[in-house]
Amino acid sequence: MSEKRKDKNGRVLKEGESQRRDLIYQYRYTDIRGKRQTVYAPTLQALRQKEQEIQDRINDGIDYDAGQITVIELLEKYISLKMGVRYNTQVNYQFVLTLVRKEDFGYRKISTVKVSDAKQWFAKLQRDGKGYSSITCVRGVLKPAFQMAYEEDAIRKNPFMFKLSDVVVNDTVPRVALTEEQTEIWMDFIRTDKTYSKYYDEFVVLLETGMRVSEFCGLTKSDLDFVNRRIRVDHQLIRDSTGRYYVEATKTTSGCRFLPMTDRVYQSLKKMLERRPKAKKEMIVDGYSYFIMLDKNGNPKIALHIENEMRWAMKKYKKLYPDNPLPHITPHVLRHTFCTSYANAGMDIKNLQYLMGHSDAGVTLNVYTHANYAHAAAQLLSISELSRKSDLKREGYEDNIPTKRVLKA
């Protein structure tokens, strides 16, 4: 029986361990690619700590390849590879990870999850009170995470490749655009109210440009071209949960655009700059400064400020006019209203897509515009009348008088 290797202090060394003449400890091992590697440490304790870390990494790789990691561990692995994502995406990842950590499903080995298991879990989430949009959010992260595992042969099939609406009920409240009458009522209330009239110009700009509220908050004085009456939109202002401000690119590359100033927008922006409080020190955020809207502390306004303005104003309106209710109004509702109004007015869809900053005209058509009976009926009658006149002309009749046809000589 061969004698076990020992160090200078007489301690028995494990396989792969040795002590050099200079008393430095070393450990030789074979990595997952089959290559021999060596690590060094001044003490045996430090060396064995490195050995444990190496073994953990090797085991992690083996467990992943065999599909033996949990759903939570797969999510953590997937999210760790997503570098440089937007703040909102990071928040979304953390929301999903927190939710899954609270569920027994999160502790399942990924190799044991079947399609039926995934469907049953989503159905459970809805029974537990989770909304369709939240479940969609969860699936939006789990599906690509499992796809990564499938493409790396860690599992035999992605269990999330199914139509979500076949499993859970879509209880999402449809986005609502204000009618012309509702818009007039709301804006008149804001304009004449002693408390909220100071926000009137902000609401005018949102309503008549269709900007995303974060784009609006990101506007600086240099983005406003009063000579040519246009607004440059190429970034948005965000404040994260720690209170840190930063500037981010627009939601899509198509979000970079110029928006024309209507007369009302022109006047409102002028008034906003005139009333803008003088900051003791202008905040510079990622190279941008002189934001056109400031809060009471002299810091740039963010989306939450404007959302709260509308929420408080809405609360007061409901109290004063309980018999004349309005839909719940948010900055995004004004964006919907802008898009729907111009679509109903007959604006070319590609031009409307540009103004909205959408990368796909389908989003403009299917998500943001809302048909209603009045506009549909008016357009039908208009087209019908044009068609009738065309038929009469083809038959040799003139229709100068609606109730009487005159045969051409």
Distance between CA 294 and CA 277 in Å, rounded?
Answer: 7
* Structure-token match 């003791």, residue found: 280
Known catalytic residues are 212, 251, 332, 335, 358, 368
The tokens describing 16, both together, are 């792969």
> Quick one: pLDDT band at residue 91, thresholds 50, 70, 90?
confident
Average pLDDT over residues 105-116: 94
Q: Which phi and psi (to 5°) does residue 38 adopt?
A: -135, 135
Of 86-100, 117-131, 350-364, 378-392, which one has max mean pLDDT?
117-131
According to the model, what pLDDT value does residue 405 have? Answer: 42
Distance between CA 134 and CA 122 in Å, rounded?
Answer: 10
- 169 and 225 in contact (C-beta within 8 Å)? no
CATH value of 180-368 in 1.10.443.10, 3.40.1410.10, 1.10.3720.10, 2.60.40.420: 1.10.443.10
| One fold for 71-166 and 180-368 | no
Residue 385 has pLDDT above 90, yes or no: no
pLDDT in tens, 55-89: 876 666 667 777 788 999 999 999 999 988 888 88
Average pLDDT, the chain: 87
Average pLDDT over residues 145-162: 93
Distance between CA 247 and CA 407 in Å, rounded?
Answer: 69
CATH value of 71-166 in 3.40.50.1110, 1.25.40.10, 1.10.150.130, 1.10.3720.10: 1.10.150.130
Where in the chain are the domains?
17-65, 71-166, 180-368, 373-407
Residues forming a β-bridge with 28? 38
Residue 406 has pLDDT above 50, yes or no: no
Asked which of 4-18, 209-223, 237-251, 340-354 is least confident by mean pLDDT, the reply is 340-354
pLDDT in tens, 3-15: 778 899 989 999 8
According to the model, what pLDDT value does residue 254 have? Answer: 80
Residue 212 has pLDDT above 90, yes or no: yes
Distance between CA 74 and CA 141 in Å, rounded?
Answer: 11
pLDDT in tens, 293-346: 999 999 999 999 999 999 999 999 999 999 999 999 999 999 999 988 888 888
| C-alpha distances out from residue 229 to 15, 264, 267, 271, 348, Å | 77, 11, 11, 15, 21
Distance between CA 4 and CA 402 in Å, rounded?
Answer: 112
Residue 395 has pLDDT above 80, yes or no: no
